[in-house]
Amino acid sequence: MLFNSLQYLVFLPTVFLLYWLLPQKARVPLLLVASYVFYCSWRPIYGLLIFGLTLGTFLLVPFIEKARLSETGKHIFSAKAWLTIIVSINLLLLGIFKYAYFTLDMVKGGLSLAGIDWKEPHLHIILPLGISFFVFEFIHYAVEVYRGKPVVKSFMALALFAGFFPTQIAGPIKRYQDFVPQLTEKFKFKWEYVDEGMQLILMGLAKKVLLADNLALVAQAGFAHPENFSSVDTLFITYAFAFQIFFDFAGYTDVARGSALLFGYKVPINFNLPYLAHNVSDFWNRWHISLSTWLRDYLFIPLGGSRCSLWLNYRNLFITMALGGLWHGAAPHFLAWGVYQGLVLILHKEYLRLLEFTGIAKAIQNNPTLAKVYHVFSVICTFHIVCIGWVFFRAENMKNAWDVIGKLMTVPAELMHFSLNQLTILQLRDPIIFPALIILIPGLMISHVVVNWLNDKSFYKNPPWAVQVGVMVALMCLLTIFSPDSSPRFIYFQF
């Protein structure tokens, strides 16, 4: 069931009405049933997978706590062993469903290099929706219990933690300490839930349907046939994809958060104006926040984090980002994207060291005007560094990625003798989104700045009544008019 489908438009109000009409004690079971209905609407058999994994985690995690409490540190290995078993089961399932084909391809490639012609078996595996997200939530739960947090006593609570339908398919990745206590709260119906929730849902759908789906046309054409476009066209196409993926995923997150809010639940935010980041490290504090904090807490820190030698710190960063890339998809171009992110993070740290060493950092700090100019320059540079990374992310394969990167590398040379005649996007009038990029891309960049300014003014906390109603009516009209017959799936559904 997609958030941008009529099915969901019927499902959500039905669950909402039942939820608030039923007595308190029946609400959590209702949400659990609704979540399984939501999940099984795609492929009922995979309902068993999420159920089995929940049951396994529910039964095994208390052993970590028991081992930890009874042995008071003397036999900590035992708790560690339980943790290893639970994490291994989760990762094994993720590996089988997500990386089996990738592994076979790698083995086949390796063997063919050795001159062995091996025909890999066909496995008939279909990736279960959302597996990457709920597996990460289970691992987080097991690790937190190992670190001393309490276990979840109720199976229903743990099942709803992983299965909660607004966040089931593509996050945000929740923390059980934040979510599970909400299940025992006695929520009373408030109109604020409806208003804020529906506003988020409408905003999210607008981001997806009005912006991401239209920009997808550009990215699809540009990445499928880069040879048909000039270098400057390709730059616009890369910008288009940068905004497509942002609005697609941010749109999904808004709908998820809005849907949760309708029932009184709060789930974490995932984005904070990522394209206003002034360096790549800042970018990762603003982009897919629930994943980057998960990677930090459960991969980077266990690897040694930054409290170690510089080279070990770099190694940890590199491994974390490379695995983070692979988490997005079992394909070399996703791995390349992760490796690229790791490398630019390391380079950024080296760059900061260089600025410190030469005293430039202090000079910038001491001059407010220079600091402002430098900040703007940093934001622009960071955006472009991120955009180059998106090429690996979006490409069909590595060759395709290098073709596009190759085009982007020639942008400065093309700009030296640039003429509008070279721009293919200006000559297309159908679909109109191509020439509209000339206005849309700067508009979207400016919108980030405006939203940031409104955030600073706390506008969103208490917007005027008329503005809130006006925006909602406008969004309803726009979504009714521009909803295509078949809106594509959210990008992050495939992960």
Partner 1 sequence: MSKPRRRSNFVTAVGLFMAANILLSIFTPINFNLYRFPYKGWAWWTFNDLRHHPETHNVALLGSSLMVSAVAGADANYLNRPLDSTTHHNAEYFDHKLKQKFGGEFHTFNLSAPGQMPSDAYLTLKAMLATAHRPDTVIYGVAPRDFIDSSMTNPTDTEPFRFLTRLVSTDECASGLFRDPLGRLEWFINRNLYLAHHGLDIQMKVGDYQKLLLDKIAYPPNGQVYDFWKRNAIIPSYKAGEFHPRSLMVLPMTAAQKSEQFRDNNAEYMERYSRPDRHTYSTQFYFLRKLVNLCRKERIELVLVNMPITKQNIMVLKPQLYIKFIGQLKQFAFDSQVSAFDLNDFCQYNYELTDYHDYVHLNAFGGFKFFDNLTEALAGNNRLASTMEISGQKLSRDRVLVENRIDIRPDEINNVFGQEIRDGRIKLKPNIEKALDYENSKRIGPKQQLSM
Q: Which residues bind partner 1 (CB under 8 A)?
A: 6-7, 10, 190-192, 194-195, 198-199, 217, 220-221, 224-225, 228-229, 419-421, 423-424, 426-432, 435-436, 438-439, 465, 468-469, 472-473, 476-477, 480-483, 485
Write down the least CB distance from residue 176 to partner 1, Å. Answer: 30
Write down the least CB distance from residue 419 to partner 1, Å. Answer: 7
360 vs 438 by CB, closer to partner 1: 438
Has 124 been annotated as catalytic? no
10 vs 454 by CB, closer to partner 1: 10
259 vs 316 by CB, closer to partner 1: 259
Q: Are 478 and 114 in contact (CB under 8 A)?
A: no
Between the alpha carbon of residue 423 and those of residues 228, 302, 406, 410, 418, the distances in Å are: 11, 49, 17, 14, 9
Between the alpha carbon of residue 69 and those of residues 9, 75, 190, 457, the distances in Å are: 47, 10, 42, 49
1 vs 336 by CB, closer to partner 1: 1
114 vs 420 by CB, closer to partner 1: 420
220 vs 447 by CB, closer to partner 1: 220
Q: How many Å apart are CA 235 and CA 222, to the nearest integer?
A: 10
| CB neighbourhood size of 363 (10 A) | 13
75, 122, 278, 328: the catalytic one is: 328
Write down the least CB distance from residue 322 to partner 1, Å. Answer: 32
Write down the least CB distance from residue 439 to partner 1, Å. Answer: 7
Write down the least CB distance from residue 257 to partner 1, Å. Answer: 15
* Catalytic residue numbers, as ranges: 328
